[in-house]
Chains A and B, each alone.
Chain A
């Protein structure tokens, strides 16, 4: 069973190539000038415009109003990603704690109220959601970006599964040690869930960072654009110009994927554990 299998490696290398090559090419191309790209197509070598292109993308004011820089969008993306992940973790930990560790007369009702949200993604109710947010005056605000996305049970589901796998002797020992519900949560359960929290943070951060439809609807003030939302602006600027700013488009693409990719690659094992062990 331990023979070396060249064919397997060949297939895997091909797969890895297909996954990586486009991104590498996108990066290499982004370091050339727009004119060079226009003339020669995508590049396979490192150009000399890396600093100027990325510098320009990050600091140059663009968009329709000329008000938004890549830096602003990067910040907005971070706020959305981190805000969403933190909000999700806090809300869902509290709710899952109540569902798993308390004697609740209406526990199964609450369970269904919360878990029904898993049934319908945001996409099927975008228009009325937009109107609710509009009615609350939350358009073009960070809370309007983040809070409506929190209305789903994924995190609660993860934490509920996890809490149920925590040995119940732990809560019994804590009760004998004189810890009440609040103290048990803070002293024992939260520290015990650290790995789980980290995994969910990664998953939720990536999810929040990558949001597109909702930010597209929610924000028309460019000061609130995220990088992923900004893609649309790039497109609009692109159409109709003689020599499209390919380099800047690629640079923004790279910037838009860099943080979530880094976080997933660096915290790979946590992330996989969180994703595969609780998503079922």
Chain B
């Protein structure tokens, strides 16, 4: 902590006030609302709400559709996280290893970070388009009749490809700066101690990267859970029908399309718990870093 501090009776409260006001109105209030309405069933004609206890939760968790979506979300999250992390790691390690053109590669590989998920999604569906999409033609060469938007698995495949493509740069930036933060003398010591480059990577480089990797793991999981909303919305062309969906999308559908406030809120609360667990893991980890780093 800072030793020297100003002591002023009112000023700090004035400084905090705007931030706190916005947080209370747009964070705590709606979050509380979500939790509250998850215990009520709203009258479809707007005549008040009935307290139903955990009924919304049992309905949601008992619905085979919800469970199918949850299953897809889990698989989607794991695949997207694994692929975007591992591809980014390979690229970062290579970009760190080459001496010439390292900064050029960095620029070329990172800028996709700035593209919004739905924009990436829009580009994606044109590349996967039945008429003009080169990726469909490519798949056809291997005898794969790809029908994104029609076939469930083909659609899921497209979603994964777009989501991974969009996320690689972010992971790449972090992995590269993590690698560059490894002290030079440590690498030199390792080079003297160990002949095999691959072994050096596993025994020295990767452990040093572990904090970055863990941080990215959590970030990527939250990305796959939430930020891919835009990609899914675009790839399904706003017509969810039988297409693969994630849980967040389902919250949105039930809340805004079906006007099932209670059910949507119960789903929100379930998601809150999932994120809470993920973020707590991350916080605990940050704390450890602060203490031992």
Chain A–chain B contact at Cβ < 8 A = yes
Chain A residue at smallest Cβ distance from B180: A276
Q: Does B222 sit at the interface, judged by CB under 8 A? A: yes
Is there an interface contact between A276 and B177, defined as CB atoms closer than 8 Å? yes
Q: Does B134 sit at the interface, judged by CB under 8 A? A: yes
Is there an interface contact between A228 and B272, defined as CB atoms closer than 8 Å? no
Chain A residue at smallest Cβ distance from B29: A132
- Contact string against A for B residues 1-16, beta-carbon threshold 8 Å, 1 for contact and 0 otherwise: 0111111100111011
Is there an interface contact between B116 and A212, defined as CB atoms closer than 8 Å? yes
In A207-248, the 8 Å CB interface with B consists of: 209-213, 216-217, 228, 231-232, 234-236, 238-239, 246
Chain B residues closer than 8 Å to A180, beta-carbon distance: 6
Q: Does B37 sit at the interface, judged by CB under 8 A? A: yes
Cβ distance B238 to chain A, nearest Cβ, rounded Å: 6
Is there an interface contact between B34 and A124, defined as CB atoms closer than 8 Å? yes
A130 to B251, CA, bound (A): 13
Chain A residue at smallest Cβ distance from B23: A151
Is there an interface contact between B15 and A256, defined as CB atoms closer than 8 Å? no
Is there an interface contact between A257 and B26, defined as CB atoms closer than 8 Å? no
Q: Does A194 sit at the interface, judged by CB under 8 A? A: no
Is there an interface contact between A239 and B237, defined as CB atoms closer than 8 Å? yes
Is there an interface contact between B20 and A213, defined as CB atoms closer than 8 Å? no
Q: Does A147 sit at the interface, judged by CB under 8 A? A: yes
Q: Does B230 sit at the interface, judged by CB under 8 A? A: yes
Question: Chain B's interface: helix, strand, loop or mixed, by majority?
Answer: helix
Q: Does A64 sit at the interface, judged by CB under 8 A? A: no
Q: Does A118 sit at the interface, judged by CB under 8 A? A: yes
Is there an interface contact between A95 and B19, defined as CB atoms closer than 8 Å? yes
Given contacts A148-B26, A253-B123, A265-B111, contact A127 B276 (CB under 8 A): no
Q: Does A51 sit at the interface, judged by CB under 8 A? A: no
Is there an interface contact between B215 and A212, defined as CB atoms closer than 8 Å? no
A29 to B2, CA, bound (A): 57
A103 to B11, CA, bound (A): 11
In B19-41, the 8 Å CB interface with A consists of: 19-20, 22-23, 25-27, 29-31, 33-34, 37
Interface residues on A, range: 35 or more
Chain A residues closer than 8 Å to B100, beta-carbon distance: 4
Q: Does A187 sit at the interface, judged by CB under 8 A? A: no
Chain B residue at smallest Cβ distance from A8: B94
In B102-127, the 8 Å CB interface with A consists of: 105-119, 121-123, 126-127
Q: Does B90 sit at the interface, judged by CB under 8 A? A: yes
Given contacts A213-B230, A280-B286, contact A102 B7 (CB under 8 A): yes
Q: Which of A20-28, A55-63, A65-73 binds B? A: A20-28
Given contacts A132-B33, A175-B4, contact A38 B275 (CB under 8 A): no
In A83-110, the 8 Å CB interface with B consists of: 90-92, 94-95, 97-104, 110
Is there an interface contact between B3 and A168, defined as CB atoms closer than 8 Å? yes
Chain A residues closer than 8 Å to B30, beta-carbon distance: 125, 128-129, 131-132
Chain B residue at smallest Cβ distance from A206: B114
Chain A residues closer than 8 Å to B275, beta-carbon distance: 119-121, 124
Cβ distance B184 to chain A, nearest Cβ, rounded Å: 11
Is there an interface contact between A9 and B98, defined as CB atoms closer than 8 Å? yes
Is there an interface contact between A91 and B18, defined as CB atoms closer than 8 Å? yes
Q: Does A75 sit at the interface, judged by CB under 8 A? A: no
A255 to B55, CA, bound (A): 47
Is there an interface contact between A97 and B123, defined as CB atoms closer than 8 Å? no
Q: Does A249 sit at the interface, judged by CB under 8 A? A: yes
Q: Does B132 sit at the interface, judged by CB under 8 A? A: yes
Which of A92, A125, A235, A249 has the most CB atoms of chain B within a 10 A radius of its CB? A125
In addition to A37-B132, A38-B132, 8 A-B residue pairs with Cβ atoms within 8 Å of each other are A12-B91, A19-B109, A19-B165, A38-B131, A97-B15, A119-B275, A168-B3, A210-B119
A-B contact list, 17 entries, CB within 8 Å: A11-B94, A94-B15, A94-B19, A98-B15, A101-B5, A124-B251, A124-B272, A181-B6, A210-B117, A211-B116, A212-B116, A217-B256, A228-B230, A239-B239, A249-B122, A272-B110, A276-B177
Closest 3 A-B residue pairs measured CB to CB?
A: A210-B116, A128-B33, A128-B30
Binding site for B on A (CB under 8 A): 1-2, 4-5, 8-9, 11-12, 15-16, 18-20, 22-23, 25-26, 29, 37-38, 40-42, 90-92, 94-95, 97-104, 110, 113-114, 117-121, 123-133, 136, 147-148, 150-153, 156, 164, 168, 171-172, 175, 180-182, 184, 206, 209-213, 216-217, 228, 231-232, 234-236, 238-239, 246, 249-250, 253, 256-257, 260-261, 263-265, 268, 272, 275-276, 279-280
